[in-house]
Amino acid sequence: MASERSYSPADRLLLQADAALRTLLPFTGQPFRPSPADGQPDAALADADARHIAGLMRINHTGEVCAQALYQGQALTAKLPEVREAMEHAAEEEIDHLAWCEQRIRELGSRPSVLNPIFYGLSFGVGAVAGLISDRVSLGFVAATEDQVCKHLDEHLEQLPAEDTKSRAILEQMRTDEEQHATSAIEAGGLRFPAPVKFGMTLLSKVMTKSTYRI
């Protein structure tokens, strides 16, 4: 990773624009790791099952869009160089999830949510504000967000048909990664958010999941 001194404010804005395009344009986010679905057998899915799985994967894809935006917003306003670099590194790992989900959605004959640009903008703003408040709040927001993502992944894993090993392999690896991100954020000094804040985040996440399942 390049050093902190390598980037001017204008450079960082251009990098943010590039990250947004790579997140939102189809097939532009190149994964660093191969998809866990590679090598898994193709299952003969009923049309209703395929549509439901595609909806679940669309939710997870939008969740990764939000994660990218959150991390990029936090990296832009983080005060400590090591926190900024940690956010940028986490964003790179989330690119894998983004690409894996998009590939699976296409395999199921569907497409990502058309609402992604809206959720990207909202999440970027939240991340930037959290970074402006303090690095501790920013890291705490990462941990709380990843906790929410893990809960969604657990719910989706329960709903997958047993024969869909491709989607299951993707979601299981995502859950492992997200849990590690949450743990790392707390260990780096992240604030543990109180229950009312987490409840509010849960309500907002339900808006995202309900809308992106079909749209």
Residue ranges at the known binding site for Fe cation = 64, 94, 97, 146, 178, 181
Q: 87-100 b/e with 16+ CB inside 10 Å = b?
A: bbebbebbbbbbbb
Task: Give me the residue label for tokens 């980037």.
Answer: 7
φ, ψ of residue 194 to 5 degrees: the values are -70, 165
Residues within the annotated binding site? 64, 94, 97, 146, 178, 181
As a three-state string, the secondary structure of 63-132 is: HHHHHHHHHHHHHHHCCCHHHHHHHHHHHHHHHHHHHHHHHHHHHCCCCCCCCHHHHHHHHHHHHHHHHH
Q: Burial code of 180-210, b = ≥16 C-beta within 10 A, e = fewer?
A: ebbebbbebebbebeeeeeeebeeebeebbe
